[in-house]
């Protein structure tokens, strides 16, 4: 029997595959379409589709929106601040990976 894709009221998914439209994402994250549009404009989330009615969102987008919401709530950041913080977090993670790789290869000793 094939596994059926389902979600609960909080948007927690049973399967790895996910494709939400704008309304679904808004409901899953308790966020307005205007806020999602702002996140798209700021580059916080990348979407499939040319205009809001065609936008499709992945599980990664869902996690990005929730992370952006936490940064806004916990640190009081505006969308531009969220975008900057997320970019810096990605860069830090990349640098940590590079450092770990260098330490593993024995080319760097700390």
Domain interval for residue 82:
22-105
> Would you say residue 9 lies in a domain?
no
How many domains, the chain? 1
Q: Report the mean per-residue pLDDT for the chain.
A: 85
- List, in sequence order, every residue forming a beta bridge with 7; answer none if it has no partner: 13
CB of 26 closer than 8 Å to CB of 9: no
Residue 83 within any structural domain of the chain: yes
Q: Tell me if 16 is assigned to some domain.
A: no
Q: Is 11 a domain residue? A: no
105 pLDDT above the threshold of 90: no
pLDDT at 48: 83
d(CA 59, CA 11): 10
Question: Does 91 reside within a domain?
Answer: yes
Residue, of 13 and 32, whose pLDDT is higher = 32
CATH number of the domain at 71, please.
1.10.1660.10
pLDDT digits (tens, 9 = 90+) for 46-99: 988 889 999 999 988 999 999 999 999 999 999 999 999 999 999 999 999 999
The Cα–Cα gap between 21 and 30 comes to: 14
Reported as a single tens digit per residue, the pLDDT across 86-100 is 999 999 999 999 999
Q: Cα separation of 44 and 52, whole Å?
A: 15
Q: Evaluate whether residue 38 is within a structural domain.
A: yes
Cα 56 from Cα 21, distance rounded (Å): 5
**Is residue 3 in some structural domain?**
no
Provide the pLDDT confidence category of residue 19 given band limits of 50, 70 and 90.
confident
Q: What is the pLDDT of residue 44?
A: 94
């Amino acid at each position: 029997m094939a596994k059926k894709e389902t979600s609960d009221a909080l948007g927690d998914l049973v399967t790895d595959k996910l494709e939400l439209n704008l309304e679904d994402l808004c409901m899953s994250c308790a966020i307005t379409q205007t806020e999602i549009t702002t996140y798209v404009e700021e580059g916080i989330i990348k979407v499939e589709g040319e205009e809001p009615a065609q936008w499709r969102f992945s599980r990664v987008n869902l996690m990005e929106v929730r992370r952006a919401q936490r940064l806004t709530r916990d640190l009081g950041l505006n969308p531009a601040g969220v975008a900057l913080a997320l970019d810096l977090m990605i860069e830090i993670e990349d640098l940590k990976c590079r450092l770990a790789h260098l330490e593993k290869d024995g080319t760097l000793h700390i």
